[in-house]
Structure 1
């Protein structure tokens, strides 16, 4: 067996992996490898469960989220399996313990009052950039999806927005040098390619523009050059500050859309499809939290049925 260090296996794994995943995914993998895995495990000929457990605790201690740490381990497993398959490294699967989280996860959502305030302000002060915020509140689109939206994706005849692409800035490490590039690509997963019907108000707002704009132009800039998520995020922040609305992340617009759908008794499967989630459990875990009233009702109904 020709044993190799992890730092020797990684370049071979990268060369192989590059052929099978999206460019943005590959760039994420490479970043996790460079920042976390190489410095910690690079010199190892094999990786023991205890090493991984210590690595996990150290990373959590340094403030990384459990999700990020789990993502790093997914990449580590891929590298180890690839190394083992080529007989360069021994790999035994590991079972990692995570400290129980005591915090309940709260998602950020605009209150109804604040949402109405934002929407009516945009109706009265139209700019293409403001329009993006309005569209997100009406459709639950992600920031990369709204930045990549062009006028040809908006079908005013059928009242539908077609989501086919997303835009993001990715890290590229070439010849040891880090740089970033703007990438326009298909959305997050195949379920993210979707059609979202427009509300009457949104349709009324977009119809007159659709007749006169260049279909290839981006909606947010009304120009052939897009704006990127980072820039749009800071535009959004300033708008919210100006409207004196509590500081919530841009992604909170998507959460607000989903929450309003659930509040108005939409069925969960439809909400899941509108959001482009790859499965309904994501939607349920994020947005469906029965309140005390609903819990009481469930208990009452159960005992009624017993009688």
Structure 2
């Protein structure tokens, strides 16, 4: 007799793996018109797909006119007393993590707004002279989702949304992998790619494809 465990499957709600196109528009509109240093951090992540630990570790010296350079990330570790610490490591998460992320025009506006709010900072994202940690951005995203009336998700889902958007818009595989900080496109497609089309968009595409049947 076959064990029931053979048939067990861990259900993953694909709709919660990314923000769909309607949700992205809703959130970005909110972030754009409710600017503070935390909301601008989330906006920049939508525009770059960087890991939230990379966003939290960005310095002004890592920015150019039309790109950001990923050279470091936030890391969590236990110190000698067994306490958890958060620090900035002067290396990214992986070797492929060293990269230049090209910015759309709106992201350049985001960078200018960040500099206006934090003109004397070392890190892009600081509050009262202290670096804003990655967990703070996750908490803020939960609040933003609640504000706009959509199910809350982690900042990692922003990253998946970015990767999905690049693939759906036929960006070359090598460029997608490079922008994501992956060694090759297989990682992006296997773990980060989900349809983020709205339900209405999916329905219309299927109906159009089967119109002659």
Output the TM-score relative to the length of structure 1.
0.56
Structure 2 counterpart SS, 1:178: coil
CA shift, 1:210, in A, is 4.3
Matched-pair contact (CA < 8 Å) for 1:262–1:287: no
User: Structure 2 vs 1, CA of residues 199 and 188 (structure 1 numbering), >3 Å: closer, same or farther?
Assistant: same
- How many pairs align? 192
> More relative contact order in 1 or in 2 (CA 8 Å, sep 6+)?
2
1:134 to 2:40 alignment: no
Partner of residue 182 from structure 2, selected from 268, 277, 296? 277
Distance 1:209 1:135 in 2: 10
Partner residue, 1:184? 88
Give the 5 Å matches for 1:73-92. Answer: none
Looking at CA atoms only, which structure, 1 or 2, has the larger radius of gyration? 1
Partner of residue 162 from structure 1, selected from 38, 61, 69? 69
Partner of residue 213 from structure 1, selected from 97, 115, 119? 119
CA shift, 1:161, in A, is 0.7
Output the TM-score relative to the length of structure 2.
0.78
Distance 1:232 1:113 in 2: 21
Matched-pair contact (CA < 8 Å) for 1:272–1:279: yes
1:256 to 2:165 alignment: no
Structure 2 counterpart SS, 1:261: helix
Distance 1:138 1:182 in 2: 25
CA shift, 1:231, in A, is 2.4
Structure 1 runs not aligned, ≥5 long:
1-98, 298-307
Distance 2:119 2:84 in 1: 31
Distance 2:9 2:45 in 1: 32
Structure 2 runs not aligned, ≥5 long:
1-5, 196-201
Partner of residue 9 from structure 2, selected from 99, 102, 107? 102
